[in-house]
Chains A and B, each alone.
Chain A
Amino acid sequence: MKKDIILAGVGGQGILSIATVIGEAALAEGLFIKQAEVHGMSQRGGDVQSNLRISSQEIASDLIPVGGADIIVSLEPMEALRYLPYLKKEGWIVTSSVPFVNIDNYPDIEALREHLDRLPNRVVLDVEQLAREAGAPVQSANMVLLGAAVPMLDIEYEKIEAGVRRIFQRKGEEVTAKNIAALRAGYDNSKK
Chain B
Amino acid sequence: MKKLLLGDEAIAQGAIDAGLSGVYAYPGTPSTEITEFIQLHESKRGADAAPIFCRWCVNEKTAMEGALGMSYMGKRAMVCMKHVGLNVAADAFVNSAMTGVNGGLVVVAADDPSMHSSQNEQDSRFYGKFAMMPVFEPSSQQEAYEMIGKAFDMSESCRLPVLMRITTRMAHSRAVVDITESPRRQNEKRFPEDVRSWILLPAFARRRYARLVEQQSELVRLSESSSHNSYRRGEEPSRAVVACGIAYNYLKENCPEGCKSSVLKISQYPLPEALIGQMVADGAEEIIVMEEGQPVVEEMMRGLVPSTVAVKGRLTGELPRMGELTPDSVRKALGMEALPSREADDLIVPRPPALCVGCGHRDMYTALNQVAAEYKDARIFGDIGCYTLGALSPFHAIHACVEMGSSVTMAKGAADAGQWPSVAVIGDSTFTHSGITGLLDCVNSRSNVVIVISDNLTTGMTGGQDSAGTGRLEDICRGVGVDPAHVRVVVPLPKNMEQIKSVLREEFEYDGVSVVIPRRECIQTLKRHAKQQKKQ
- A residues with a Cβ closer than 8 A to B are 10-11, 23-24, 27, 32-47, 51, 59-68, 78-79, 81-82, 84-87, 89, 102-108, 111-112, 115
Contacts and interface: CB of A to CB of B under 8 A. Distances in A.
11 contacts: A37-B174, A39-B29, A40-B461, A41-B116, A42-B116, A42-B353, A46-B354, A51-B173, A79-B351, A85-B342, A85-B344
Q: Is the interface of B mostly helix, strand, loop or mixed?
A: loop
B85 to A, nearest CB: 14
Nearest to B325: A63
Nearest to B171: A39
Contacts of B342: 67, 84-85, 87, 89
B373 interface: no
B348 A81 contact: yes
A42 B331 contact: no
A112 to B, nearest CB: 6
B273 interface: no
Nearest to A33: B176
Interface of B: 2, 4, 6, 29-30, 32-33, 116-117, 169-170, 172-176, 246, 249-253, 256, 326-328, 331, 338-345, 347-356, 386, 388-389, 393, 461-463
A68 B256 CA distance: 15
B29 A66 contact: no
B172 A39 contact: yes
A33 B174 CA distance: 7
Contact of A45 (B338, B339, B348, B353): B353
A7 B443 CA distance: 51
B250 to A, nearest CB: 5
Contacts of B30: 39-40
A106 B349 contact: yes
Contact of B29 (A35, A41, A63): A41
Contacts of B353: 11, 41-46
B216 to A, nearest CB: 33
A34 B173 contact: yes
Nearest to B340: A67
Contacts of A39: 29-30, 32-33, 117, 172, 463
A112 B349 CA distance: 12
Given A62-B249, A66-B341, A40 B117 contact: yes
Given A27-B2, A36-B172, A63 B326 contact: yes
A81 B328 CA distance: 20
Contact of A61 (B33, B250, B350): B250
Given A27-B176, A36-B173, A44-B386, A81 B252 contact: no
Given A44-B386, A102-B351, 7 more contacts: A34-B173, A37-B173, A44-B356, A51-B173, A62-B170, A87-B341, A103-B351
A63 B167 CA distance: 13
Nearest to B347: A107
Contact of B340 (A42, A46, A89, A115): A89
Contacts of A64: 327
Contacts of A61: 249-250, 252-253, 327
A105 B256 CA distance: 43
Given A23-B174, A33-B175, A112-B347, A41 B461 contact: yes
Given A10-B351, A38-B116, A63 B461 contact: no
Contacts of B2: 27
A62 to B, nearest CB: 4
A67 B29 contact: no
A45 B356 contact: yes
Contacts of B344: 84-85
A68 B327 CA distance: 10
Contact of A62 (B32, B169, B340, B347): B169
Given A42-B116, A66-B328, A36 B354 contact: no
